[in-house]
């Protein structure tokens, strides 16, 4: 017998950006952040790292809510064979922004959907490229005053005062923000939750 919990969708993330992007698909969901330690080594393979972390989050929440369909996601920035996760402090955010200035980097997101009830496991990786303007220290300081960067991979958010630092991008904009909406919709369709 199908109940409301059979169709329950959970986002295993506290990210306000992911919440907003998932809501844009018109689905109803709960938020239960996963209590896990993410793998974040600067020399990690970014594709594998985000897939691993997304699966870690989805598996943790799914184990506690076996009837629900759970979404895990993880995003990182990659340049010079180095993974740029969330900066620890303003000094690290400044260093990241200096590193990105005038150059192109890749934003990787891993998506994982888990449902214990029927053993559903879907995983996908998405990549986009962002080219930054060549900006000076004054622009970095202005950006840091305007945007809270400590909860953002690479120390920036394309959707917040992006005109100061971003020249352009290729690929999915929503991926750069933190949840690739088109790919997410396809996975939810495969999971039987959207048409």
Q: Supply the residues annotated as catalytic.
A: 74
10 burial (CB, 10 Å; 0-12 / 13-18 / 19+) is buried
Give SS3 for 132: strand
Angstrom distance (rounded) from CA 61 to CA 39: 17
Which residue's entry shows tokens 């005053």? 145
CA distance 189 to 127: 21
DSSP structure class, residue 116: G
CA-CA distance, 143 to 96, in Å (whole number)? Answer: 12
């Amino acid at each position: 017998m199908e109940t409301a919990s059979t169709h329950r969708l959970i986002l295993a993330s506290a990210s306000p950006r992911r919440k907003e992007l998932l809501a844009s698909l018109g689905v109803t969901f709960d938020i239960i952040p996963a209590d896990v330690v993410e793998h974040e080594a600067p020399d990690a393979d970014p594709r594998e790292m985000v897939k691993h972390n997304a699966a870690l989050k989805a598996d943790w929440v799914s184990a506690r809510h076996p009837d629900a369909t759970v979404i895990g996601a993880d995003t990182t920035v990659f340049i010079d064979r180095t993974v740029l996760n969330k900066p620890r402090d303003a000094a690290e955010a400044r260093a990241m922004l200096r590193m990105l200035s005038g150059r192109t980097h890749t934003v990787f997101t891993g998506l994982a959907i888990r449902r214990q009830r029927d053993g559903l496991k879907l995983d996908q990786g998405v990549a986009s490229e962002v080219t930054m303007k060549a900006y000076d220290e004054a622009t970095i300081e202005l950006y840091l005053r305007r945007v809270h960067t400590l909860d953002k991979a690479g120390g920036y958010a394309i959707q917040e005062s992006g005109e100061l630092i971003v020249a352009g991008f290729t690929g999915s904009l929503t991926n750069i923000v933190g949840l690739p909406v088109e790919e997410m919709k396809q996975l939810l369709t495969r999971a039987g939750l959207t048409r």
